[in-house]
Structure 1
Amino acid sequence: MENRVYIDSRDLGLQVKKENANSTIIDIARRANVTNITVSRVFNQPHLVKSETREKILSIAKELNYVPNAFAQGLKKNSSRIIGVVTSSTYNPFYSHLIQTVSRIARNKGYQIMLFDTDDSEAAEKLAIQTLFSYQACGILLSAVRDDKAYSPAYLDLADVYRIPLVLIDRDIYGKKLSGVFLNNIEIGVRAGRFLAEQPEQRLLIVGGPEDSEITKDRTAGIMGALIGNNKQVEIIYGDYKFDSQEQALRNLLSDKERWPQYIVGLNGIITLGAMSICNQLNIYNQIKFFSIDTPPYCESYGQRIPGIYHNTVLLGEKAAEILFKLIEKPKNMQTPLREYVPGELTV
């Protein structure tokens, strides 16, 4: 039979420490023999507490694994100092650079960012907004999962109830008259179309987002309008913003050499990158030219410079933050929505 020896930790002079995950300022006050108010001041107004007392309280707080509850503090002050950023894709450089800019500006003003990536899910977007409402966020920047005219999420009415400023980025929600920063998508399309009209290639393929997307509609209409009278042959593939649903349609098209485009026009950077990747897999990358609206991720890092209409995402972030903080600081003075349009730059 196996022999087992059981040793009580007390026999070794050890004290088993119990985790204090739920410690409160009351526990700290009792141990430090001070009032609850004194403990609270250490974490909120430390300059009002003597250094000796402050160090004692912080030492006990560390021993008890106490962490100040920012949420509870926010409820007491009716302000959490949280700025919510809800975007459909943090992978897309269009949003990642913008978020970095907003985060820097918010931090300099004493706010913190709470970031949500909805991955184009309406349910995830709804949950993200509800979470920010529950945290009493001071303001929300939102790039919605959809930009068709039928999209009218119910949570927008709650934003008015909670009086939380909500500023749109890039994608508009129609009929709501919300503040936001946008791109002039018809102008983008026209400028792209003018560039393509000057090129000798005749067969063009436009790869866009959802067919009912107002961004896709406007950019496509701008391109087609600028191509009138140039005898270009244009095909269009619709799908989603992430290029998931366009992939098979593009592979099918490229399987027929007679239909190969001479130019592929991606209506956002992710779509362009997806088309480039497929052409590379099929060993026809060098036989097709590309034009992109917004930067395809990481292309320049690999020496690939794609002509396109590119936007200053730092400027977009600055404009979005400027509008949001105006609404936070002077909400009663803003009777009409604040809307900015940021121009793109043709890069060849």
Structure 2
Amino acid sequence: MAVTIGDIAKKAGVSLATVSRVLNNSGYVKLETKEKILKVIKELNYTPSAIARSLSKNETNTIGVVVPDINNPYFGEIIKGVSSIADENNLNIILFDTDENIQKELKALSVLKEQRIKGVIITPTSAENDFNSEYLNTLENLGTPIVLVAGEIKYSNLSGVFVDNIKGAFEGVEALIKEGHKKIGIITGRLSSKPASDRLLGYKKALALNDIPINENYIFNGEYKKENAYKITKEILNMKDEERPTALFISNNMMTLGCMKALLEENKRIPEDIAIVSFDKVEILNMLGINISYIDDSTKDLGKTAMKMLVENIKQKEKHETKRITLPPKLYLNGSEKYLNK
């Protein structure tokens, strides 16, 4: 059974307040009484709770990290980056997975407020239409520095670290065009989110600048979901040969996995039957020897940069200024963009 400060107070014959002052090294306690309490603490082998100690001081040494999908390796890499800088600054992490659910996100923020954390790093759910007054009030009343990572919150002016999604998508689609592809499809993320809409914008920009008409039939909304991309790819493969895209630009790693599952089931080869460029690296495909061309948005660096920004904001407290950093993506061509069926 755990020893409490009540047990210490009872054995030492003093009040709870006196024991608390000794534990927190605050307020005056006679030397004789202090020594007596410390002796009892040693005898009872008492270890003070870090949480209780933090609450008594009205602060913790913990930050909150809120992400929309912990099963996605993309966010695992962000968390690694955050953790490495948190360790350097002796900060602990409480992690929340919201499953792209705005209500879960609100609950996570409320719990973090109760925990009196030092700051929050958050990738908001992409359901931006749900960023209503309740949500914005929750953020405003959190009373701690907040840093966004790889996702925006409408109507807010928060610090954050982002990726140049328009540039990344533009370069990925342009690589397909340079190979000779003109019938290029895109599987988008949830278009209510800025990253997804920016990637679609980059796709359209690449086509327009190369005088390729935009075919609305080649724009497929995958909602960032693996199962959606799987179904979409099956539909694409059922299109008539002359109507089917010769290449696909896929807007995130999970949808690339769904697309690949459908292609493998249908015994389709890449790039012989269809070319692929993915936004985000898909590590498991590399491990299986399937080398997909991809846009790398330096995921771990996103986490590191966001955590450094949060540490700086914590130190500056109320005086910190809003900072927004955009990291450049990098295109890696591994052959899946080729046009071999000319």
1:121-146 deviations in whole A, cap 9, x for unaligned? 11211111111011011100000111
Q: Specify whether residues 270 and 191 from structure 1 end up closer, same or farther in structure 2 by C-alpha distance, changes over 3 A only.
A: same
SS in 1 for 2:71: coil
Question: Does residue 326 of structure 2 align to residue 346 of structure 1?
Answer: no
Contact 2:230 2:261 in 1 (8 A): no
Kindly state the Cα deviation for residue 87 of structure 1 after the two structures are TM-superposed.
0.2
Tell me how far apart the structure 1 counterparts of residues 176 and 44 of structure 2 sit (CA, whole Å): 69
| 1:121 maps to amino acid | N
2:230 aligned residue: 247
Kindly state the Cα deviation for residue 329 of structure 1 after the two structures are TM-superposed.
0.8
Question: Does residue 220 of structure 2 align to residue 237 of structure 1?
Answer: yes
Tell me how far apart the structure 2 counterparts of residues 205 and 294 of structure 1 sit (CA, whole Å): 17
Kindly state the Cα deviation for residue 32 of structure 1 after the two structures are TM-superposed.
7.3
SS in 2 for 1:323: helix
1:213 aligned residue: 193
1:83-141 deviations in whole A, cap 9, x for unaligned? 10000112222221121121121122121000011111112111111110110111000
Kindly state the Cα deviation for residue 30 of structure 1 after the two structures are TM-superposed.
4.1
| 2:7 maps to amino acid | D
Question: Does residue 275 of structure 2 align to residue 295 of structure 1?
Answer: no
Tell me how far apart the structure 1 counterparts of residues 92 and 131 of structure 2 sit (CA, whole Å): 29
Q: How many residues align?
A: 321
Q: Specify whether residues 107 and 252 from structure 1 end up closer, same or farther in structure 2 by C-alpha distance, changes over 3 A only.
A: same
**What's the TM-score once normalised by structure 1's chain length?**
0.81
SS in 2 for 1:337: coil
1:324 aligned residue: 310
Tell me how far apart the structure 2 counterparts of residues 88 and 291 of structure 1 sit (CA, whole Å): 24
Contact 1:146 1:213 in 2 (8 A): yes
Q: Specify whether residues 115 and 154 from structure 1 end up closer, same or farther in structure 2 by C-alpha distance, changes over 3 A only.
A: same
Question: Does residue 250 of structure 2 align to residue 266 of structure 1?
Answer: yes
Tell me how far apart the structure 1 counterparts of residues 222 and 39 of structure 2 sit (CA, whole Å): 60
Tell me how far apart the structure 2 counterparts of residues 331 and 342 of structure 1 sit (CA, whole Å): 25
Task: Write out aligned runs for 1:83-122 (5 A).
Answer: 83-122=63-102
Contact 1:208 1:267 in 2 (8 A): yes
Q: Specify whether residues 58 and 150 from structure 1 end up closer, same or farther in structure 2 by C-alpha distance, changes over 3 A only.
A: same
Tell me how far apart the structure 2 counterparts of residues 199 and 268 of structure 1 sit (CA, whole Å): 22
Question: Does residue 107 of structure 2 align to residue 127 of structure 1?
Answer: yes
Q: Specify whether residues 59 and 98 from structure 1 end up closer, same or farther in structure 2 by C-alpha distance, changes over 3 A only.
A: farther
Structure 2 residue corresponding to 1:277, chosen from 222, 237, 261: 261
Tell me how far apart the structure 1 counterparts of residues 259 and 42 of structure 2 sit (CA, whole Å): 56
Instruction: Please report the RMSD computed on the Cα atoms of aligned residues, expressed in angstroms.
Output: 3.0
Structure 1, unmatched stretches of 5+, are 1-19
Larger Rg: 1
Q: Specify whether residues 249 and 135 from structure 1 end up closer, same or farther in structure 2 by C-alpha distance, changes over 3 A only.
A: same
Higher relative contact order (CA 8 A, sep 6+): 2
2:44 aligned residue: 60
Contact 2:165 2:199 in 1 (8 A): yes
**What's the TM-score once normalised by structure 2's chain length?**
0.82
1:151 aligned residue: 131
1:256-305 deviations in whole A, cap 9, x for unaligned? 34344321211111111211111112211442221011112422222222
Question: Does residue 166 of structure 2 align to residue 186 of structure 1?
Answer: yes
Contact 2:102 2:127 in 1 (8 A): no
| 1:342 maps to amino acid | L
